[in-house]
Structure 1
Amino acid sequence: MQIEKVSSQDIDQIMRIEHEGFNEAEAGSRTGYLERIQVLKDSFLVAKEADKIIGFVVGPITDERFIEDWMFEKATSPVKNNGHQLIFSIAIDPNFRGQGIGSTLLSAFEKNAQSMNCISVSLTCLEDRIKFYEKNGYQNIGLAESTHGNETWYNMEKIIH
């Protein structure tokens, strides 16, 4: 398995995985992902096996410590120094789940964030995924203000600097 930065040619495979991993209210749009590929290319990683994308992770570097719903509306240029790396989405092809790919992507994403002098990596997740992130060194900070997809979200954070 290789971890590399995203390419615009990856869009079809990314959208397939996105829609297999999230319900219609939670999933990002093709237009939104094309924008993320362009604007967030330095913090958009894909896991590939034999040129097939089997997972990805993406998010901006911001001054804000946690994700807020307005951030999903339009990809904004990332802060360059001492920001917080947010994870908008991490998704694994259902045929490859349970093989450590999510943890490998998180680790690569954290190293990438450290190289850009980020203070922390944070995300929001559903309650049933809290243990996975805790296993990967994230702390549950409590309920998020987000109502994205009409779900209850929890803020998870890992300090890296």
Structure 2
Amino acid sequence: MEITHVIMDDLPDILRIERLGFTPEEAGTEEQYRDRINKLADTFLVAKIDNKVAGFVVGPATKEPYVEDWMYEQTPTNLKTGGHQIIFTIAVDPKYRGRSIGSKLLDAVVENACQAKRESISLTSLDKNVPFYEKNGFENKGVAESEHADEIWYNLVKELDTICDV
């Protein structure tokens, strides 16, 4: 498996994986993913097995410490350095689950965030997925203000000050 930055040719696999892992209300659209690939190439990573996308992680680097609902509709432009790494989506093709691909993608996000001198990595998660993120070093900060897909989301944060070599 290799983890690389996204290219537009990855879009069909990304959309397929997105639809397999999220409800229509939760899932990003093709237009949103095209915009994310164009604006967030530095922070949009794909895991490939035999040159096929097995999973991906995407989100902007922002001044805001948490995911905010408006960000899903208007993709923020990445900060060059500093700020906070937000994760909109992390998803793994169901046929590749159980191989630690999600954890390896999170490790790659940490590495990129450290290189760019980010303060933290944050995401929102449904309750059922919180244990996965806690296992990967994220701290549950409680219920998020998000109303995305009319579900209850939790803010999870991984502070980078003790992780990155400063």
- The unaligned stretches of length 5 or more in structure 1 are none
Q: Which runs of 5+ in 2 are unaligned?
A: 162-166
The aligned counterpart of 1:118 is 118
Q: What residue identity is the alignment partner of 1:117?
A: K
Equivalent residue, structure 2, for 1:15 = 15
Report whether the alignment pairs 1:133 with 2:137.
Answer: no
What does 1:73-92 align with in structure 2 at a 5 Å threshold?
A: 73-92=73-92
Q: Deviations over 1:34-60 (max 9, x none)?
A: 000000000000000001100000000
Q: 1:152: which partner in 2?
A: 152
Q: Determine helix, strand or coil for the equivalent of 1:81.
A: coil
User: Which structure 1 residue ranges, 4+ long, deviate > 4 Å from structure 2?
Assistant: none
TM-score (normalised: structure 1): 0.98
> Could you tell me how far apart the structure 2 residues matched to 1:62 and 1:78 are?
6
Aligned to 1:68: 68
Residue 142 of structure 1 corresponds to 142
> Deviation string for 1:86-120 (max 9, x for gaps)?
00000000111121000000000110111111000
Aligned-pair distance for 1:131? 0.6
CA shift digits 1:16-73 (9 cap, x unpaired): 0000000000000000000000000000000000011000000000000000101111
Compute the TM-score of the two structures, normalised by the length of structure 2: 0.95
In 2, the alpha carbon distance for the partners of 1:142 and 1:77 equals 27
Q: Which amino acid aligns with 1:68?
A: E
**Hey, what's the Cα distance between the residues in 1 that align with 2:99 and 2:128?**
18
**How far apart, CA to CA, are the structure 2 residues paired with 1:102 and 1:81?**
24
Conserved 8 A contact 2:62-2:76: no
Count of paired positions:
161
Q: Given the alignment of the two structures, is residue 103 of structure 1 paired with residue 103 of structure 2, yes or no? A: yes
* Superposed displacement of residue 80, structure 1: 2.0
Residue 164 of structure 2 corresponds to none
Give distance in 2, aligned partners of 1:30 and 1:84: 25
Q: C-alpha root-mean-square deviation of aligned residues, in Å?
A: 0.6
Q: Distance in 1 between matches of 2:18 and 2:160?
A: 27
